[in-house]
Structures are given as C-alpha cells and as structure tokens.
Structure 1
Amino acid sequence: MPFTPFHFGPGLALKGIIGRHMSFSAFVVANVAIDIEPLYYMLRNDPPLHRELHTAIGAMLLAVGLMLLWLLLRAGISRWGGRYRQRWLRGLSSSTPWAVWLGLLLGCGTHIALDSLMHLDMAPYAPFAGGNPLTGWISIAQLQWACLMAGIAGLPMVYLRSE
C-alpha cells in the first residue's frame, strides 16, 4: 500500500476491540518503520522494493528491535524526562510494555498480511518458501476499501472505549 495510510484502518478496528491492551501509537510506528525499506529501494531505483522486512521473520525482528528501542527511550524518559518538563516525552512512557509490544506485533503482522495481498515482489514466507502465493486473492480496490471500512468501524469503538 502506498506508504501506510490504509494500514491504519485495521489498526483502529483492532484498537476498538482490544482497547487499552494495544498501543495504537506503536501500531502506527511499526507500519511506518516497515515501509522505510521499500522507500529506500524506491529512491535508489533498485527493485524489488519489498525485501527482508516484508517477510514474517523480518517483520517480527523489526518488532523486537522497535520494542527494545522503546524500552531504552522509556528508561531515558523516566530518568531525564521530568528534568526537561517535556509533556510529549512523558507521553511516550504512558503505555504499558504489553500494550506497546502487542501494538508492534499487530502492526508488523497486519502490514505483512495486507502487503502480501497486493505486492507481487514480496516473499512473505522467506526463507522457507519463495514467491508470494497471496497476491491477487483480492483486488487492490477491494483491499483498500476493506481497510477504509475497518477504520470507519474502529473510530466509534475507540471513542466509546475512551469515555
């Protein structure tokens, strides 16, 4: 999908269902981080665009790396955040580690699943299997419509849970 926006729809639906047990911010970070890979190869004009991070193993390793980065940031914020009185920094440490971890895993996992349906250059099961057997199961328009509808359905659920 063109740099992530449609991926947020299923994330809103998941947040509406799971509630405080999933960090939507972590979900968004995972989706943006994973798309740095195709952006890099696109800027270099070096296909295929979807490589290591767009495999199940690569995506899970990215989630682990992002979680470790979050833990380091959280430790630093709790140590120095109060000294600088930056509200946005303290906000990073407000989610529980479990909610962040679940948001990262679901963000990476759904990203690979959705991209597998539309990008032929992916090999989501590498190194165990080559190619992408999932491409074409659904049209790109149908996939984008489903993501949009998931987001529209998720918004009121997130709102109702926040009250």
Structure 2
Amino acid sequence: MPLTPFHLGPALFLGALAPRRLDLPTLLIASVVIDVRAALVVFGPLGGPVHGFLTTVLGATVVATLVAGVVLALPARLDGLVDRVRPGATATPAAVAAGALVGAWSHVLLDATLYADVTPFFPLPGNPFLLGAFGLVYGGCVAAGVVGISLLAARFGRSWHTGAS
C-alpha cells in the first residue's frame, strides 16, 4: 500500500482479538516494516519493482523471523517500555513469533489484493488474490483499525482501573 499506516488497521484489530496469542507491538511492527524497502524504491535510493521479494510469503517469513528475533532480544529496560502497549499481557516467545508472522503475512495478503506486481507465492508466478478494489480494501483497513482501537481502549481502560488484563 502506498500509505503504510493502512496496514496498522488490520493489525490493531487482530491484536485486539487475540492479545495473549499475538504480541501487539510485534504485530504492528511486522505489519509495516516490509514497506521500508518499497519506500526506498519509491523515494530514490533503490531500484527495481516497488513490490519485490519482501512482499512474498517467503520474504515476509524472513522479515517476521528478524522482527521476532529483535523483539525477543530487547534489553529488559526497553521491553518494559514496550509492555505499556501490551494490554495486560507479557510477551511470550510464541506470541512474539505469531505476532511477527501474522503481521508480515497480512501485509503480503493486503498488498496482493491490490497490486498486480505482487507474487505472494514466489517463485510461483501470478497473484491469485488480486482484486484491485482499492476503496474496499482501504475502507476495510480503516474500519478494522477503528474497531481494533475501540477494543483495545476498552481492554486498556479495564486494566488501568482494575490492574487486571
């Protein structure tokens, strides 16, 4: 997506639905980090197609592995800061890994619905998810984000007032 923040909507929604199974900070990071390469293509220093290897399931899995590794390796003082956006849960290695995979794979799926140059199952050619329905996908991302933020706000509000998750 040309505007990476759209990817945050589905990530917020999924993270709100499964807070103990999907680590929210990891999910959010993994859902947008893939576009760093695309931004470098669009804005100059890299050449090649906007949607390259990272917007494949294989490439996204590599990204997810790196993101999960970085999150799990955070020093305790940084992890404590990150805990502030974890609604009542601490990160388990399984939740971090799942958050990274879901975030990265959802990025590929969303881009695959919009762009013909995405080949999600590379090295196999083609894109079986292509819809080209930009308004529908962007609207769905915004709606998912609004619902996700609402669910998280309700969960955070409850944990702030009761000290529970």
State the TM-score bracket (shorter-chain normalisation): 0.7 to 0.9
In terms of mean alpha carbon deviation, does 99-108 or 16-25 score higher?
16-25
Counterpart of 2:91, as a letter, is S
Q: Is the 8 A contact 1:19 1:161 kept in 2?
A: no
Displacement of 1:58 = 0.7
Matched residue, 1:46: 47
Q: Per chain length, whose mean CA-contact separation is higher, i.e. which structure has more relative contact order (CA < 8 Å, sep 6+)?
A: 1
Q: Distance in 1 between matches of 2:71 and 2:15?
A: 19
Other structure's SS at 1:126 match = coil
Which stretches of structure 1, 4 residues or more, deviate above 6 A after TM superposition? none
Instruction: Indicate yes or no: 2:93 matched with 1:120.
Output: no
TM-score, structure 2 as length reference: 0.81
Instruction: Report Cα offsets for 1:44-72 as digits up to 9, x if no partner.
Output: 36231111111001101111111122222
Instruction: Report Cα offsets for 1:14-46 as digits up to 9, x if no partner.
Output: 122112332221112112321112112222362
Matched residue, 2:134: 140
Displacement of 1:89 = 5.1
Counterpart of 2:2, as a letter, is P
Unmatched segments (≥5 aa) in structure 2: 84-89, 159-165
Counterpart of 1:140, as a letter, is F
TM-score, structure 1 as length reference: 0.82
Q: Distance in 1 between matches of 2:54 and 2:97?
A: 17
Q: Distance in 1 between matches of 2:49 and 2:106?
A: 21
Alignment of 1:55-134 (within 5 A): 55-73=56-74, 77-78=75-76, 81=77, 88=78, 90-92=80-82, 94-127=90-123, 129-134=124-129
Superposition RMSD in Å: 1.9
Displacement of 1:4 = 1.5
Q: Distance in 1 between matches of 2:146 and 2:101?
A: 22
Number of residue pairs aligned between Structure 1 and Structure 2: 150
Q: Distance in 2 between matches of 1:72 and 1:155?
A: 27
Displacement of 1:138 = 4.7
